[in-house]
Chains A and B, each alone.
Chain A
Amino acid sequence: AQSVTQPDIHITVSEGASLELRCNYSYGATPYLFWYVQSPGQGLQLLLKYFSGDTLVQGIKGFEAEFKRSQSSFNLRKPSVHWSDAAEYFCAVSSGGSYIPTFGRGTSLIVHP
């Protein structure tokens, strides 16, 4: 069965600092990987996704993520965080044979001015 681990429940950064949110997955074949963001009181919005090809994926709002098969990771990065990035971030994994993605428990990002 596929699983997703987001080891950090909360991350606090200063505005303008760089950010990396960790995501590790467990799945035998090449997975489909997603990062979603949830602002307070809102639903989830897709930031980026990886299926195949270039392992560095660019997304919206200046985010990027890198797929590392050897580490079973798909970490989300942003070089300079803005206060509006404060939100909950979810990593998700699925596969060609599974139409139901598995979501991690989420990482709450707090941005200090």
Chain B
Amino acid sequence: GAGVSQSPSNKVTEKGKDVELRCDPISGHTALYWYRQSLGQGLEFLIYFQGNSAPDKSGLPSDRFSAERTGGSVSTLTIQRTQQEDSAVYLCASSLGQGGQETQYFGPGTRLLVL
């Protein structure tokens, strides 16, 4: 079946512009995660959605970052007034349920470059 998809694959933007990154999780997966991967760094947790519960936004680095998940499926990560330090790969992952034992299935990521 289809895996996690993300769009766009690459995004180049100018400092100060807003960007939207999209994630389509695996059908039926109730949990959805966003991570940021900077060069030479591990995965930095950003936000977590589980079903209809309020999202865990504890990893968002600033109020310029926001995310929503519509209908328990597609998610959009929005970065307002982008800065050069926002340049990174943004990864989305989904899992069948919640809980520490769940396997996460990752999308290929969106590579964001802020000029």
Contacts and interface: CB of A to CB of B under 8 A. Distances in A.
A103 B36 CA distance: 12
Interface string B80-115: 000000000001010000111111111111000000
Nearest to B6: A43
B100 A42 contact: no
B33 interface: yes
Interface residues of B, number: 27
Given A43-B4, A90-B43, A101 B100 contact: yes
Interface stretch (A11-19, A44-52, A64-72, A76-84): A44-52
Contacts of B101: 32, 49, 51, 94, 96
Interface residues of A, number: 25
Contacts of B43: 44, 90, 103
Contacts of B75: none
A105 interface: yes
Nearest to B106: A43
Interface of A: 9, 32, 34, 36, 41-46, 49, 51, 90, 94-101, 103-106
Given A46-B103, A96-B101, A103-B42, 19 more contacts: A9-B40, A32-B100, A42-B109, A43-B93, A43-B106, A43-B108, A43-B109, A49-B101, A90-B43, A94-B100, A96-B100, A99-B31, A99-B99, A100-B56, A101-B100, A101-B104, A103-B35, A104-B42, A105-B41
List the 3 closest A-B pairs by CB distance, nearest first. Answer: A43-B106, A94-B100, A105-B42
